[in-house]
Amino acid sequence: MQLKALRKYNLCILVHQISIHTGVAYYLKNESTSCLSFATVSNNLDHGACAVWAHLQPILKILLNKTPQIDTIHFVSDGPTSQYRNRSNIYFMITQIETIFSNIKHLSSNFCESGHGKGPMDGIGGSLERSADAFVAYGNDALSAEDFVEVFQESKVRVLLIKEEDIQAIKSSLSDQVPGIWHIMKIKQIIYSKELRQKIFLRNLSCFDSICSHFPSIKPSFDFNVVPVKPKSCIFF
């Protein structure tokens, strides 16, 4: 997953700036691996954890419709502290995924080293940017996130709009009692299991054998006892 700002130029004049969140979801269906390439765009330029989860929610809904039996999800991203490697992101991973996927058992958030692991996301973002540049070069205008979504209605990449109220609804659901995660900058994987609620497991390297003893951090487990906050404007599925 990757969230960044996208600038569109027409006749060398900056006309607007939007946020674009790109990613690829791989899932198992009928014993074969399928993928969903996606991009969500917004006029709101917030790149924080609340914005990340507002961008993720419609994608998670699509995956739920495709594979309602999902019981394990692994998130792989880069590690900027403002977006993914922070306690708010882990809080949303635990509270929102269980709300959307009733069969979920295991979750993990995995952080790549700087400059690694972003090939698929960068590829989608680059493809969309080139197509948008070509659209503008032919004399057309794309002045907002709504225009950007309209341009890619026929694209193989699923492009969706995230509204201001979607982000504000997620912000209203963030508890003010989320505990800090010890040495989070040194952590490469954070694991959560529904069987062991209110506890997360920390790893120096990623391992996907559920909860295991491989690559533990100095503090291998951490109490993450928080009570979800009911949002003022609910957009959960």
HSE-up of 135 (CA within 13 Å, CB side)? 16
Inter-residue contact 86 to 174 (CB < 8 Å): no
* H helices present in 75-190, as ranges: 87-100, 119-137, 145-151, 164-172
Per-residue pLDDT tens digits for 6-29 = 554 443 444 578 999 999 999 988
Q: How confident is the model at residue 228 (pLDDT cuts 50, 70, 90)?
A: very low
Please report the pLDDT score of residue 213 as a whole number: 63
Say what the pLDDT of residue 237 is: 25
Residue 142 has pLDDT above 90, yes or no: no
Beta strands in 187-234 (DSSP E): 189-193, 199-203, 216-223
pTM over 0.85: no
Rounded average pLDDT over 145-163: 94
Q: Is the pLDDT of residue 148 over 70?
A: yes
Handedness of CA 107, 113, 115, 116 (dihedral sign): negative
pLDDT digits (tens, 9 = 90+) for 43-93: 999 999 999 999 999 999 999 999 998 999 999 988 777 788 888 998 899
Q: Minimum mean pLDDT among 100-104, 134-138, 165-169, 224-228: which range?
A: 224-228
